[in-house]
Amino acid sequence: MEEARPVRPEELDQTLALVNRVFRTGVDQDMSTDYPLVFASANLNNLRVVSEGGRIFSHAAMAHRELREHGCALPVSMICAVATDPERRRRGAASRIMEDATQAMAARGDAFGLLWTGPARDFYRRLGWEVVGSNGWTYLVEPQQAGRFEQPLPVRPFQAETDLERIIEIHEAQPRQLTRTQAEYRTLLTLPNSEVWMAEETGQAEGYLVVARAYNKSGVVEWGGTSRALSSLLARVLAEPAGERMQVFVPLPDNPMTELLTGRGCHTRIPMEVADGCGLKMVRILSLANLMRQLSPHLEKCLTGCSGQVSLWVRETGERVDLRWDGDNLEVGGGRSRDPQNGAQELSLRQAARLVFGPEKPSQVLDLSNESGQGLDRAFPFGFHIGMLDYV
Ligand SMILES: CC(C)(COP(=O)(O)OP(=O)(O)OC[C@H]1O[C@@H](n2cnc3c(N)ncnc32)[C@H](O)[C@@H]1OP(=O)(O)O)[C@@H](O)C(=O)NCCC(=O)NCCS
C-alpha cells in the first residue's frame, strides 16, 4: 500500500467511481454533482487517496472555508466522502488518509477539522475526533400546516443573472456564516434536485429560500430575508408536492425562521444531527494554541473585566497552552513538552474538542479552579452553525 497523497488529475474518474460505489449505489445521484465544490478541479490538492498497483482504493476530501462566528474569522476544513473499497477495508488505508489530511490542515493553520458522520463515529474517535455540541434544529412541518403561513408577497423562481447579487446581500447580512465566493454561491444555488424561490415586492427581492429534495439534502436547506418574505416562501413550498413532510433547518440561537415557525404553532423539532442527510458533528483539534489565538476576539469579549489563568497540556501531541486573562488583556502562550509541567491540566485531543465546542461547560470536562473555571465557562462552549447548503 502506498502512502496517502493528493489525487492526480488523471485519477479523478477512478476516484469518483470509488466514492459513487460506496455512497451512491442504488441512488440516482452522483457525488461529483452533489458536491461540486469538493470535486472541482481547483480542489484536487484537497482530495487525498491511497492506491496500490495504480488502483485507488481509499479516499477522503477536504473542503477549505472560512467560518465567521462570534466576531472570529476561522479557517476550517470540512472532511467529506471518506471511503475505502469494501474489499480492502481494515488495512489502515482510511486511517492513513485521515492522518495525512490532519497534517495538511494543521500545516495551513486551520482552526480545526470538521465532519458529520452517522455510522463511522468510532472510527473517527480513534483518530482524535470528538462529537461536539449541536449545530441547530430541524423543524418538521406538515403539508397541512401550509395554510398557517400568510403569503403577502408574490413568489417566483430564482434567476441567477438577476437574483444572485441580492441573495448574496441577504445571506451576508446574517450574523454567522461560512464565507463563499460569488462563483461558489452560484454553484450551491444550482445544485441538482433543488429549487430556489424568491419573494419580492415592487421589483425588490425581500427574501429567498432553497428547498432540496435530494438523497443527501432534504428540505428547506437555506433561507434569508424578512419575516413577510419567509412566510410567503414557506406557504409556496409547503403547498407542493402534497403529502410531504418538510424539514426546515435553523441555527440554534434566535432567528426569524424559528420565530415564524413557532409563532404559527409549528413546534415539532429534532436536533439537526438526527435529521435526514445530517449526522453527528465531529471536530478534530489541530493545535489548541492556534485555535485559542484564532478565538481571541471572542475570548476577549467574554473574559473582559475578570482575571484568571489556566495551563493545558494535550496528551497526544505534547502541546502546552497557557491562557492568562486580566482586565482587558488576554495572553495565549505555549510550547511543547514531554509531560504536563508546572501543574498544567492534562487532557486528550477529544477532551480539548469538548472543552471548546461543548456541549457541556468546560468545568464539566476538566477539573478547573473556581476562578479559571468561571472564566472558561463564560467563553465556552463556542457554538457555531454550518448551514445545510454548505454541508459536504
Ligand atoms: C469507515 C471506512 C472509511 C474505514 O476504512 P478502512 O480503510 O477500513 O479504515 P482503517 O483500516 O484505517 O481503520 C479501520 C478501523 O476502524 C474501525 N472502523 C471502520 N469502520 C468503522 C465504523 N463504521 N464504526 C466504527 N469503527 C469502524 C474498524 O473496526 C477498524 O479497526 P480494527 O481494525 O481495529 O477493528 C470504511 O469502513 C468505509 O468506507 N465505510 C463506508 C463509508 C463510510 O461510512 N464512510 C464514513 C462516512 S462519514
Asked whether residue 164 is domain-assigned, the answer is yes
155 and 258 in a common domain: yes
Q: What percent of the chain has pLDDT over 70?
A: 99
Mean pLDDT of 172-196: 94
Q: Which residue's CA is the closest to the ligand 1 atom numbered 43?
A: 83
| pLDDT (average), residues 217-244 | 92
Please give the grid coordinates belonging to residue 243.
403529502
Q: Quick one: cell of 58?
A: 481509499
In angstroms, what is the C-alpha Rg of the chain? Answer: 22
Specify if 132 maps to a domain: no
386 domain-assigned: no
Do residues 102 and 217 share a domain? Answer: no
What distance separates the 2 farthest-apart alpha carbons in the chain?
A: 67
pLDDT at 19: 98
Same domain? For 264 and 294 the reply is no
Whether 390 is covered by a domain: the verdict is no
Distance CA 232, CA 1 (A): 56
Number of domains the chain is built from: 3
How far is the centre of ligand 1, averaged over its atoms, from the C-alpha of 226 (Å)?
Answer: 45
Contact 92, 84 (CB under 8 A): no
| DSSP label at residue 191 | -
Same domain? For 304 and 373 the reply is yes
C-alpha to C-alpha distances, 94 to 117, 120, 125, nearest whole angstrom: 14, 11, 13
Compute the distance from residue 264 Cα to the ligand 1 centre, in Å: 44
Same domain for 259 and 297, yes or no, is no
Claim to verify: residue 310 and residue 257 sit in the same structural domain: no
124 lies in some domain: no
Q: Show the ligand 1 pocket: residues with CB < 6 angstroms.
A: 22, 58, 82-84, 89-95, 117, 119-120, 122-123
The per-residue pLDDT for range 131-141, each reduced to its tens digit, is 999 999 999 99
Closest CA to 222 of 203, 200, 197, 240: 197
Q: Is the pLDDT score of 241 beyond 90?
A: no
The residue segments making up the domain with residue 22 are 5-110
Are 365 and 350 contacting, i.e. CB atoms less than 8 angstroms apart?
no
Predicted local confidence at residue 243, as pLDDT: 74
- On whether both 302 and 258 belong to a single domain, the answer is no
Distances from the Cα of 379 to the Cαs of 40, 68, 202, 356, in angstroms?
37, 16, 45, 9
The answer to whether position 370 is within a domain reads yes
Q: At residue 370, does pLDDT exceed 80? A: no
User: 153: which 3 cell numbers?
Assistant: 408577497
The mean of the pLDDT values for the chain is: 95
Residue closest by Cα to atom 4 of ligand 1? 94
Is it the case that residue 172 has pLDDT exceeding 90?
A: yes
- The residue among 232, 247, 272 that closes a domain is 272
In a shared domain, residues 317 and 354: yes
212 and 327 share one domain = no
In a domain, 335, yes or no: yes
Cβ partners under 8 Å of residue 207, min gap 6 = 153, 170, 198, 199, 223, 224, 225, 226, 228, 229, 230, 232, 233
| Between 74 and 254, the higher pLDDT residue | 74
Give distance in angstroms: CA of 38 to centre of ligand 1. 21
- Kindly tell me if the per-residue pLDDT of 242 is higher than 80: no
Nearest CA to 116 out of 186, 210, 217 is that of 217
Same structural domain for residues 89 and 146?
no
| CATH code of the domain in which 106 resides | 3.40.630.30
Cα of 354 vs centre of ligand 1, distance in Å, is 23
Q: How confident is the model over 66-113, as pLDDT tens digits?
A: 999 999 999 999 999 999 999 999 999 999 999 999 999 999 999 999
